[in-house]
Amino acid sequence: MNRRNFLLSLSAGLALAPAAGWALDNAGASRLIDTLVKDINGVIESGKGETAMFREFERIFARYSDTSYIAAYAMGVEARRASNSQKKAFSKAFQGYISRKYGRRFREFIGGRLEVTGVKKVKKWYEVDTVAYLQGQAPFKVTFLVSDRSGQDRFFNMYIEGVNLLLTERTEIGAIIDRNKGDIDKTIAQLKTLG
């Protein structure tokens, strides 16, 4: 089982960048992912310090993913009792947490490539199937979910070898909230230090 792959591939997902006017077809998606790999490698090869790199990844994440959906999903039912300012703070802290947690692993992506194998429409979103080829390991499947819910094409989830990344993060966030005895403010404060 490719637990490693699943973490690695988030790297790709974080930066999956639906450019303006992107028509979702195989060629467009393939081009997009090629750009993504180049962008990631660009940040890695820039030789910046780790902190600066995390900021870059956070920027990429904020720009190309449906951050409000991702934060809402990750918070799960706990969101019902959260105030709007808590939700906002959580969303921001979560973005930083994700960028640090997966940004540290972008390095492993050097020399890798993602190949788009198909795009299909499911309900109101698109699933982009890809195969990831990373150095020194067997190829594995990564599926990106893209929607225009927010008015723009953004990715909102990804599956690596069947592992739903958002569901995994929601489980983790739930555990952190439990550890803080349900205190949302403490959870947010702790998220800022994790990842």
Partner 1 sequence: MKMKMRATLPALMLIAATLVSACAKPTSEQLSEGTIADPNEQRNRAVHEFNRGVDRFAFRPAAKGYVAIVPPDMVTSFGLFAENLSMPGQAVNSVLQGNFKQAGIALSRFAINTVFGIGGLGDPASDFNVPRVDTDFGETLHVWGVGEGSYVELPFFGPSTARDTTGLVVDFFTNPLGYAKNTPVDDIDIYAEVVRRLGDRGTYSDTVDSILYESADSYAQARLIYLQNRRFDLGQTSENSEIDPFELSTEGF
Element holding 53 (H helix, E strand):
helix 50-64
Burial 5-36 (b: 16+ CB within 10 A, else e): bbbbbbbbbbbbbbeeebebeeebbbebbeeb
Nearer to partner 1 by C-beta: 46 or 83?
83
Nearer to partner 1 by C-beta: 26 or 171?
171
Nearer to partner 1 by C-beta: 34 or 174?
174
- Tally Cβ neighbours within 10 Å of residue 47: 8
Q: Where are the beta strands (DSSP E) in the chain?
A: 113-122, 125-133, 140-147, 154-160, 163-164
Rule CB under 8 A: which of 94-123 touch partner 1? Answer: 101, 105, 108, 122-123
Q: Does 138 bind partner 1 (CB under 8 A)?
A: yes
- Helix, strand, or coil (residue 149): coil
Please state the closest distance from residue 11 (CB atom) to partner 1, in A: 12
**Where along the sequence are the contacts to partner 1 (CB under 8 A)?**
1-4, 6-8, 66-69, 71-73, 75, 79, 82-84, 87-88, 90-91, 101, 105, 108, 122-125, 136-138, 145, 147, 149, 156-157, 159, 161-164, 167-168, 171-172, 175-176, 178-179
